[in-house]
Amino acid sequence: MSRTTFLLGVHNHQPVGNFPEVFEAGYRMSYRPFMEMMKRFPRLKWSLHLSGILWDFMKDKHPEYVAAAKKMCDAGRLEILSGGYYEPILAVIPDRDKLAQIKKLSAFIKNNFGQTPRGIWLTERIWEPSLPKFLSSEGIEYTLTDDYHFISAGMKEDALRGYYVTEDEGFKLNIFPISQKLRYYVPFDTVERTIELFSSARGFNSSLTMGDDGEKFGMWPKTNEHVYGKGGDIESGWLFRFFSALSKNSSWLDTNTFSGFMDAHRPTGRVYLPSASYFEMSEWTLPPASQLELENLIHLCQKDNRFANAHKFLRGGFWRNFLTKYSESNNMHKKMLRVSERIASALSSSSCAIPSTPKTAARFVKAAEHLYAAQCNCAYWHGVFGGLYLPHLRKAVYEELILAEKALAPRKFDVIVSFTDIDKDGRDEIAIEGKSQNLYLSPARGGCLYEWDVYEPASNMLNVLTRRYEAYHEKIKQSLPAAKESSDGASTIHGIVKMKEKNLERYLNYDWYDRASLLDHFFGAGVSLEDFRECRFKDLGDFTLEPYTAEIIGGKITLRREGTVRTAAGARNIVVEKTLTPSAASAGFTVAYKITNASVSPAEFMFGSEFNLAFFAGFPSQEISSSENLMLNDKVTGLTFVADVRPASAIWLFPVETVSLSEDGFERTLQGGCVLFARSFRLKGGASDELSIAVSWTK
């Protein structure tokens, strides 16, 4: 008799740094009720992946969940998948870290469930062709990718049944294609149509795979009642009716684990997949203009009923494009690689592979754990989920990286200053590293300061996101109504259009430079705080984005640029020198500006030095006409930003806010606070004047 097998894989994850109440909400709304539903249908087989972060939470707060999973494993109806412990994008972390992360989660699974994992959950289904050799070498037999990966290779969606084998340098790996159609049907279409989909797939050696986020079973907006029933009426919920239908049709519709299916069936065929992710991710990685072009092309194809044929040829970017789309993502990623290399170098330079003393060994283990936690993928990208736009996730990444550096070795030196290409753009940055802080300067980008790591508490205090145009901002501008949501209120998050507050279009301000610090501006008369806040002012100089020369003398760093300022009286040649003197004992530095009019004619302008600070819980909007002092208390870290300015200068302050898309709709987010220290200069030909700003973070 013609049959098919439903291979159900559920992936549960919460990112490093997410709020405890979100973990609890996930357990209450999704993880627990799904597991309880599975208990009601003991003949159904399935596969489960939790990131190590979430397994740690379960063991600590809800051991009953672990016990329930163990019981199902012992009964042979549940397979636990391995993967990177802290849910990294495997393709973009060093092989040594890939290995350590997979081994850590596999050991956890072996110790707690008695299974030696044969497969892994591939984070965000980010596939690159070099993965088979690495995974196969480490004993991994299979993974899952979207059917879009296969379609991109020219294969037909309707033919994607069972699993396929691929290889790299002869190292084989099996791959199950996840059905996008099934992902969208479960649990958002009717149970009847979903069963019809399985029926259409009947055949020899046939199966349909669904691997997707477990959070959509109750935690995504308006899915809880839809999935589990209203008012405790479980049998009216989608999931109970679906599982009942699976049981009712068991004469031709099987369920199995991935390993169970592999053991009973041969591969459907051989395949070689291009670098790819799920289709939506390929859209999100594109620059906004290209993303809109792709969306328009898709709409045209759908309108003309050509999408099914054109789909295989429509491709966006791939995951690494996020590292060019968002400088903040690249900064975190390259900082992570820098810390990873330091740990590896420290290990290789020790007298043996494993440090000899328990105290030294413990330091290396602690440093490595912080590094692996910092490799959690969520803060490095942005799509329909907040990701990079969520300050607390970026904060967590930096915290883990700084803690890794602290654990690696106590710094006995006062300050070390070096030229090195930290962000891997082919141009050297300046690293200033001491007992209390790290400072990273970029001479090539306006001589800016783009990272300021404070060691107590561990935090990058310049962790501010630039306000960028995103393709989905067009939906806000067009004021699409919330009525676009599905009629029953439950839909896949990819189709939700919801505004979390009114008049969000007022906050669509876009920066033409990255939100770093020590950014040098020149203004004419009439520029207001509001002009500056909305980034709609005219900068009269060519200093903010242009390169500076750099010189290190005696622990001081002097950045210099000779540029042009277009004053009301005409263009003037202006030289800006800023000399940074870092503190050896605390988290602070002094920057001494010397501004010279290199022209014969006099020059008159307002000069401003801009700082962007990682304040995530309130920041004032204020204009101070003249002051020598500024103190701002950060409620999150408990630190106070202190600035002493000589001579007294105007100080402008405003919150840096973005409008982004999350799984719950469009929302406004505080990304930090901007401080501008500004004073007017009137310089005769050849004359100079100075401005000194001493800044620090204190408890």
Nearest 5°: CA angle at 26, between 23 and 30? 160
CB 640 within 8 A of CB 474: no
Enter the tokens of residue 43. 């003949």
Task: Tell me the C-alpha distance between 52 and 69, whole Å.
Answer: 15
Task: Tell me the C-alpha distance between 642 and 633, whole Å.
Answer: 9
CB 697 within 8 A of CB 640: yes
Cα dist. 638→266, 436, 458, 653 in Å?
59, 16, 12, 20
What are the residue ranges of helices labelled H in 223-326? Answer: 224-228, 238-248, 258-264, 279-284, 288-303, 307-310, 322-325
Active-site annotation holds for 293: no
Enter the tokens of residue 227. 């999935």
Task: Tell me the C-alpha distance between 177 and 553, whole Å.
Answer: 59
CB 673 within 8 A of CB 465: no
- In the block, which residue shows the tokens 């069972």? 162
Residues in CB range of 225: below 8 A, 6 or more apart: 237, 490
The Cβ of residue 314 has, within 10 Å, a number of other Cβ atoms equal to 17
Output Rg (C-alpha) for the chain, integer angstroms: 28
CB 165 within 8 A of CB 267: yes
Active-site annotation holds for 429: no
Q: Of 79, 97, 124, 147, which residue is the catalytic one?
A: 124
Q: Of 138, 141, 167, 213, which residue is the catalytic one?
A: 213
Segment (H or E) for 207: strand 207-213
Task: Tell me the C-alpha distance between 648 and 677, whole Å.
Answer: 9
CB 339 within 8 A of CB 404: yes
Nearest 5°: CA angle at 691, between 688 and 696? 155
Known catalytic residues are 124, 213
